[in-house]
Amino acid sequence: MSSQIGKVIRTTLLADATIAATVSNRIYPLVMPMNTAFPAIMYTLLNTRSDSHLKGTTGIAETMLQLDGYGQNYSSLLSLMELVRLEIQSIRGTYDSVFINSIDLDSSYDTFDRPEDGSDLGLYRVVHTYIVNYQETIVTR
């Protein structure tokens, strides 16, 4: 189920006209292709935890989602990632058969990835980590 969260995130972000105009379709799971144009976004599902009680799982799960925004202009990247945050935190309800209860920003940081050749032509990176709370299917026997 948590793998569907990534699809929901990508689809929702690309449905926003401003985000889509900025990144085109450059929102990737786990790895960006070589020679990617920028800005671009990469998403990673870090871990999933199912809530449980004495009789089994409750049907509520949490997934840690990391979004890495990459760009060559720091100011523009910050603006893009703020739009992404606002869009991500507005997701509630059923998306592609996944019922999302809430998505909350857990942490954020900025960094600069310097190229191996030591030049200043590196990439700015803004990293957001979110907690996605959603309903999962309960196994009954």
The per-residue pLDDT for range 91-139, each reduced to its tens digit, is 999 987 889 999 999 999 999 988 877 777 789 999 999 999 998 876 6
What pLDDT does 51 receive?
A: 66
pLDDT tens-digit map of 21-30: 999 999 999 9
Task: Please calculate the CA angle 104-83-37 and round it to the nearest 5 degrees.
Answer: 115
Q: List the structure tokens of 61.
A: 């799960």
Three-state DSSP class for 67?
Answer: strand
Q: Which residues face 112 on adjacent strands?
A: 124
* Separation CA 70–CA 78 (nearest Å): 10
What pLDDT does 116 receive?
A: 79
Q: Is 84:128 a contact under the CB 8 Å cutoff?
A: yes
* Separation CA 1–CA 16 (nearest Å): 24
> Where does the pLDDT of residue 17 fall: very low under 50, low under 70, confident under 90, or very high at 90 and above?
very high
